[in-house]
Amino acid sequence: MADPDAWFVVPRPRPDARHRMLLFPHAGGGANYYRAWAAHLPPHVELRIVQYPGREHRMAEPLVPDMATLAGAVADAVAGASGPALPTTFVGHSMGASVAYEVARLLEDDFGERLEHLVVSGRSAPGTPAGQAPRTGSLTDEELRADLAGEGGTDPRLLDAPDVRAVILPIVRNDYRLLQRYTARPVPLRCDLTAVVGDADPSVPVHAARPWEQCTKGRFRLHVQPGGHFYFRTRLPDVVPLLTERP
């Protein structure tokens, strides 16, 4: 398995940081999509973005086919990463919310570590039948392209290029299959938890995000933001600082 630090991209290193935000990307997503978040964080917060295998600088590595393997590897990397131990907030969007939740559970159970705050964005709560259902791997390339373009997380112009589609679509299919195989269990964490959802998100209605409250013994807050599944895409200056606030 990769060196622990290979799992993380740090767009703006802040040696004097007093807090760390660890960001988990969506299905098919990589660290580059979230680099701009660093510019909107307070000076005392350092952003680290989890880079899943099989994309961007880890393109040569095999994709991870199941949640248990992915979450276990990320938990090991978090525990073994270099740098000072700092109070940490996990922020996961869409698939990344599930990965962040599972990693937080492993850190509490296996490493005795506790997060300060978990932020789950654009993801229905574990055990909630409504909300975001993983797409099947049987979609044609054109159907998958339309699906990605409709969500707003991928520039449609990129998907028009055959060589780019040849890279992106296998990653997305892998991540969708990972989600299909994943069975979430609502096990309460000790940290505070914030759920964030767009008011026009077709895949995660507000009522499907509210039961995240059952996943923490700490404080809980639900934020409903204007917009769709990628509600933050054009509103980073407003949204990113909000995610640093504790309930």
Q: Which of 94, 98, 124, 203 is catalytic?
A: 94
Does 229 qualify as catalytic in the annotation? yes
Q: Which of 26, 40, 223, 229 is catalytic?
A: 229
3-class DSSP string for the chain:
CCCHHHHEECCCCCCCCCEEEEEECCCCCCHHHHHHHHHHCCCCEEEEEECCCCCHHHCCCCCCCCHHHHHHHHHHHHHHCCCCCCCEEEEEECHHHHHHHHHHHHHHHHCCCCCCEEEEECCCCCCCCCCCCCCCCCCCHHHHHHHHHHHCCCCHHHHCCHHHHHHHHHHHHHHHHHHHHCCCCCCCECCEEEEEEECCCCCCCHHHHHHHHHHECCCEEEEEECCCCCCCCCCHHHHHHHCCCCC
CB neighbours of residue 171 within 10 Å: 19
Does 121 qualify as catalytic in the annotation? no
Catalytic residue positions, numbered: 94, 229
